Structure 1
Amino acid sequence: MKFRPCIDIHQGKVKQIVGETLQSDPSRVVENFVSGHTPDHYAAMYREDGLTGGHIIMLGGGNEAAAELALRAYPGGMQIGGGINGDNALRYIELGASHVIVTSYIFRDGKLDMDRLEALAAKVGKERLVIDLSCKEKDGSYYVVTNQWRTFSDFEVNASGIARLEAYCDEFLIHAVDVEGKREGVQEKLAASLAEWTTIPTTYAGGARSLADLERFRDITGGRLDITIGSALDIFGGQLPYRDVIAFCR
């Protein structure tokens, strides 16, 4: 189990928000934390601490310049997502991203667009593509949600769906949207299922708030999944020491 660090960028600033509240009206976005540091500060810190496989997420438009600062501070050390498509994916690789992360571009009108997925994998290479399967629970199952987590797709996150997509990507990033940014604990049912279904590196995000949560997560997943933590960390205004998380996961 690895700790995967994150840099979430909204309106050009490093923030931690409640993901479900992201929308075009910034006054209605629920912010847990707004940093006084620029994105490259965090990228440099992660580089110095030897943390790999973390992700930069651009929350809405207008964040490209800020994201570029982070990529240049840690070349080859971080992935990037948020608005990635067939036209800009290679540019982010050239700017220093190890991988590009994609969701809404390959889930159009509530359905998986295999033509777009195949074309994107061919363009950037399977080894540089991460598929974000951020999902919400509905009727006892988990479905991918897109368009800033407001639109349910018909794609169920299950063993067969995971197996179908593994042929096209190097990793999965999966936000448990129901608990993301709320510091309510890990969504155990989803985490345990992902550990059973996935055979490639997979990062779970959502709800972790303490070392006890991390220990529980490791137990229910058998250490097969990696984890990312945002709002709960002291570097983002929370109570959980960033250094303690690194030590625990190592």
Structure 2
Amino acid sequence: MEFRPCIDLHDGKVKQIVGSTLGYKNKSVVENFISEHDSAYFATMFKKDGLTGGHVIMLGSGNEEAAILALQTYPGGLQVGGGINAENAKRFIDAGASHIIVTSYIFHDGQLDMERLNNLVSAVGKAHIVIDLSCRKRDNKWYVVTDKWTKFSDFEVNEETIPFIEQYCDELLIHAVDVEGKRSGMQEELVRDLAKWTSIPTTYAGGVRSLEDLKKFEQLSDGKLHVTIGSALDIFGGDLPYTDVISYCTNKAYDE
């Protein structure tokens, strides 16, 4: 189990927001935290602490400059997502991203678009792709949601679809949309399921808010999943010490 840090960018600034409030014209985006520091500050921090596989997420337009600044500050140490497609993916890899992260681009009009997925693989190679299966529960099943988490796709996340999608990427990133950014606890059932279904490096995001949660996450996942924490961290305005998370996950890695 590794701790994967994050740099979420909105309007060119490092923020922590409730992701499920994005994408609605008649609703305000709920912001948990706006940093006084730029993206390079956090990239430098993560580099100094030896954290790899962190993700830089561009939440809407106007964030490319800040994203590339982070990537150039920590080349090879960060992944980038948000508005990535087959045409611009290589630009971000060339700027220093280890991987590009995609959801809405390949889940097009509510369906998995194999042409787009294959084009992406051709553009940067499977080894540089992370597929984000951000999902919500409906009818007691997990479905990928797209377009800033506002639209359900017909792609169910289960023990049959995970092995299929793993053929086209190097890692998976799973946002539990209904708890992401709310510091309300994790989707325990989803954590258990992902630990059973996945066979490549997989990072879970959503609701982990304390060391107790982190310990429970490790137990539920049997140490097979990586974890990212955003709003709950003290570096993003929360109560959970960033250094405690690093210490816990690093010591567990040594134990293994």
Normalised by the shorter chain, which TM-score bucket?
Answer: over 0.9
Q: How much has 1:23 moved relative to structure 2?
A: 2.5
Task: Determine the structure 2 residue equivalent to 1:217.
Answer: 217
Q: Does 1:204 align with 2:212?
A: no
The equivalent of 1:127 in structure 2 is 127
TM-score of the two chains, using structure 2 as the length reference:
0.96
Equivalent residues in 2 for 1:146-157, closer than 5 Å: 146-157=146-157
Question: Mapping of 1:1-250 within 5 angstroms?
Answer: 1-23=1-23, 25=25, 28-250=28-250
Amino acid at match of 2:72: R
TM-superposed CA distance for 1:121, in Å, is: 1.0
Aligned equivalents of 1:142, 1:128: Cα separation in 2: 26
The offset of 1:25, in angstroms, is: 5.0
In 1, Cα distance between the equivalents of 2:16 and 2:208?
Answer: 14
Change (3 A) 1:171 1:162: same
Letter in 2 for 1:22: L
Cα-to-partner distance string for 1:37-90 (whole Å, 9 max, x where unaligned): 000000000000000000000000110011111011101100000000011000
CA positional deviation for 1:26: 9.7
| TM-superposition CA deviations, 1:141-161 (whole Å, max 9, x none) | 100000000000000000111
Q: Quick one: distance in 2 between partners of 1:234 and 1:125?
A: 36
User: What letter matches 1:146 in structure 2?
Assistant: T
**One-letter amino acid matched to 2:78:** M
* CA RMSD after TM alignment: 1.0
Aligned to 2:215, the other structure's residue is in SS state helix
Distance in 1, Cα, partners of 2:97 & 2:26? 27
AA partner of residue 150 (structure 1): T
Quote the Cα distance in structure 1 between the aligned partners of 2:159 and 2:115: 22
Partner amino acid, structure 1, of 2:204:
Y
- Provide the C-alpha distance between the structure 2 equivalents of 1:236 and 1:148, rounded to a whole number of angstroms: 21
Question: Percent identity at matched positions?
Answer: 64
Cα distance in 2 for partners of 1:175, 1:167 equals 20
CA contact (8 A) 2:23 2:147 kept: no
Matched-pair contact (CA < 8 Å) for 2:23–2:150: no
CA distance 1:163–1:99, shift in 2 (3 Å): same
Q: Deviations over 1:76-110 (max 9, x none)?
A: 10000000001100000000000000110001110
CA gap 1:203/1:26 in 2 versus in 1, 3 angstroms: farther
2:160 counterpart SS class? helix
Deviation at residue 27 of structure 1 after TM alignment: 7.1
The residue type equivalent to 2:218 in the other structure is: R
User: Which amino acid letter does the alignment assign opposite residue 213 of structure 1?
Assistant: D
Distance 1:156 1:144 in 2: 6
Gaps of 5+ in 1: none
> Which portions of structure 1, spanning 4 or more consecutive aligned residues, are displaced by more than 2 angstroms?
23-27
- TM normalised by structure 1 equals 0.98
Matched residue SS, 1:28: coil
Q: Quick one: structure 1 residues 176 and 236, their matched pair in 2 at CA, closer, same or farther if it must change by over 3 Å?
A: same
Q: 1:189 Cα deviation (Å)?
A: 0.2
CA distance in 2, matches of 1:158, 1:57: 25
SS at match of 2:36: coil
